[in-house]
Amino acid sequence: DAMVIQNPRYQVTQFGKPVTLSCSQTLNHNVMYWYQQKSSQAPKLLFHYYDKDFNNEADTPDNFQSRRPNTSFCFLDIRSPGLGDAAMYLCATSSKSEKLQETQYFGPGTRLLVL
Partner 1 sequence: DQQVKQNSPSLSVQEGRISILNCDYTNSMFDYFLWYKKYPAEGPTFLISISSIKDKNEDGRFTVFLNKSAKHLSLHIVPSQPGDSAVYFCAAIVIGAQKLVFGQGTRLTINP
How far, in whole angstroms, is CA 1 from its chain's centroid?
A: 21
Q: How far is the CB of 24 from partner 1 (least distance, A)?
A: 14
Q: Which is nearer to partner 1, 48 or 68 (CB)?
A: 48
Least distance to partner 1, CB of residue 14, Å: 22
Between 48 and 81, name the residue whose CB sits nearer to partner 1: 48
Q: Which residues contribute to the site for partner 1 (CB under 8 A)? A: 4, 6, 9, 31, 33, 40-43, 45, 48, 50, 55, 90-92, 94, 96, 99-109, 111
- Choose between 73 and 106: whose C-beta lies nearer to partner 1: 106
| Cα 99 from Cα 115, distance rounded (Å) | 43
Task: CB nearer to partner 1: give 34 or 81.
Answer: 34
Distance CA 104, CA 93 (A): 5
| CA distance to 1, 2, 37, 91, 97, per residue, from 43 (Å) | 25, 23, 4, 11, 24
